[in-house]
Amino acid sequence: MSQATPRSNEPLIHHWMPFTPNRQFLEAPRMLARAEGVHYWNSAGEKLLDGISGLYTTPAGHGRREIREAVAKQMEELDFAPPFQFGVPGSFRLAHELTRILPAPLSRVFFAGSGSEAVETALKIAINYHRARGQGQRQRLIGRARGYHGVNFAGWSVGGMVKNREAFGLGLPGVAHLRHTHIPENRHVIGQGPHGGIDLADDLQRLIDLHGADTIAACIVEPIAGSTGILVPPVDYLQRLRSICDKYGILLIFDEVICGFGRTGYPFAAQAFGVTPDIMTMAKAITNGNIPMAAVAVREEIQQAIFDVAGPDAIEFFHGYTYSAHPVACAAALATLKLYRDEDLFARAATMAPGFLARIADLAHLPCVIDTRGYGLLGAADLAPGASPGARGFAVMRRCFDQGLVLRVTGDTVIFSPMFITSEDQLDAMFTILRRVLETI
């Protein structure tokens, strides 16, 4: 697979790329020029398999006609309308449609443009809720080590990525963290590990003992930590978090930006693990990756508490984005939800999961693989570190790309998140490429 070199009339240096080693990229750009189904084509016209559903965004496959047509129709009818003080029909329909797949108590939906914005919104709702109920001292936010909640200030502060602290300093005050949930005993365990780990949830109790429950607004976790390498929660861990939050009036927020929309075989991980949060963020797969969009779902009582203290003509929640509930994004999301329903794609994800996870487990036999994990259609393999941290992971990603497979690495961890429409043969082809690369790395 050729890595197209920039033509002299393409001044690539002007685009400062996100989460990318820009200088290295310019030496050998990995350009994706076209996509359809489970495939990309690079700018040289060569075909690649997509092993990560866009970026967890595109489980129904690239280039879906139904979404394209809905977007085009919406753009002809109404390209934009101000979301403050005015409404568009699609957003009300979409909020209603979402409640059909959300866990029942989550029945009020606020729209945003990205996962990071959804996280900020969720945290602000939590603080606003407590203030509305006369508990304004509840300002503290609890996150978790190895959590990822996007790039905005509150999000990275509650997140548990060391690199954010190295690059941006202290972050938001009043934030504390639980330990992450990956325990050595669960090495090479696929699914929820049988070897304990529920006590890790008691970190929340310890933070309550230290800081006082009446200072804590919310605890935010990804049900399965995605970006730091698919860390599956121990059995009953989320249940324990839920009961501690209930005992002390702390809101539990699930960040389902990766886990949502069928990735676990259920609409949301909340249903997969049988634990319902008070607030849930979602984004990535909401429009099958076609148009940026995100949402926050809350229990009705939370909205009601905020409404109750506002005057009848007052803006109840002083928050919103220019692109909240963008009509074109709403049209894309409605068409996407219809596709998921019509093609029963969440059930298809559940059916695919055992075979996919068996392939992940099989990677454990390779000498360079030191851990394998997975749940639903999320799988990861940790590689023994190479010359420097992340070097081996990066090399694997590049070689896979050269051999026709797009996958994701974080440090020395390889992540797979296939589309729900991937065939068994295509899965085999993806793992054949990865194995070949891992055998020679």
**267 sits near ligand PLP (criterion: CB under 6 A):** no
Pattern of binders to ligand PLP over 68-87, x per CB under 6 A?
A: --------------------
Tokens read off for 127: 């603080």
| 287-346 residues near ligand PLP, rule: CB under 6 A | none
Residue where the block lists tokens 């698919």: 230
First to last CA, the chain: 17
Pattern of binders to ligand PLP over 101-140, x per CB under 6 A?
A: -------------xxx--x---------------------
A 10 A CB-CB count for 37 gives 17
Residue nearest to ligand PLP (CB): 115
Pattern of binders to ligand PLP over 211-250, x per CB under 6 A?
A: -----------x---xx-----------------------
94 vs 258 by CB, closer to ligand PLP: 258
148 vs 420 by CB, closer to ligand PLP: 148
Q: Which stretch binds ligand PLP (CB under 6 A): 31-39, 181-189, 251-259, 265-273?
A: 251-259
3-state secondary structure of 359: helix
Residue among 368, 413, 366, 329 nearest 95 (CA)? 329
Q: Helix, strand, coil % (nearest 5) of the chain? A: 40, 15, 40
Rounded to a whole number of angstroms, the minimum distance from the CB of residue 167 to ligand PLP is: 16
| 141-170 residues near ligand PLP, rule: CB under 6 A | 148-150
Residues 6+ apart with CB under 8 A from 14: none
110 vs 431 by CB, closer to ligand PLP: 110
Rounded to a whole number of angstroms, the minimum distance from the CB of residue 342 to ligand PLP is: 26
Tokens read off for 413: 């961890």
Rounded to a whole number of angstroms, the minimum distance from the CB of residue 120 to ligand PLP is: 10
Residues 6+ apart with CB under 8 A from 271: 103, 264
Beta-strand pair 413-416/408-410: antiparallel
- Using the Cα atoms of residue 306, residue 113, residue 215 and residue 302 in order, give the sign of their dihedral: positive
Rounded to a whole number of angstroms, the minimum distance from the CB of residue 278 to ligand PLP is: 17
Residues 6+ apart with CB under 8 A from 285: 53, 56, 57, 58, 59, 260, 261, 262, 263, 336
Question: Is residue 314 packed enough to be buried (19+ CB in 10 Å), middle (13-18) or exposed (0-12)?
Answer: exposed
Q: 52 φ, ψ to 5°?
A: -130, 20
Tokens read off for 300: 């009705």
Rounded to a whole number of angstroms, the minimum distance from the CB of residue 181 to ligand PLP is: 14
156 vs 431 by CB, closer to ligand PLP: 156
The site that binds ligand PLP (CB under 6 A) totals a number of residues, namely: 14
**283 sits near ligand PLP (criterion: CB under 6 A):** yes
HSE toward the beta carbon, residue 353, CA cutoff 13 A:
21
Rounded to a whole number of angstroms, the minimum distance from the CB of residue 436 to ligand PLP is: 28
Rounded to a whole number of angstroms, the minimum distance from the CB of residue 381 to ligand PLP is: 19
| 364-403 residues near ligand PLP, rule: CB under 6 A | none
Residues lying near ligand PLP in the complex (CB under 6 A)? 114-116, 119, 148-150, 222, 226-227, 255, 257-258, 283
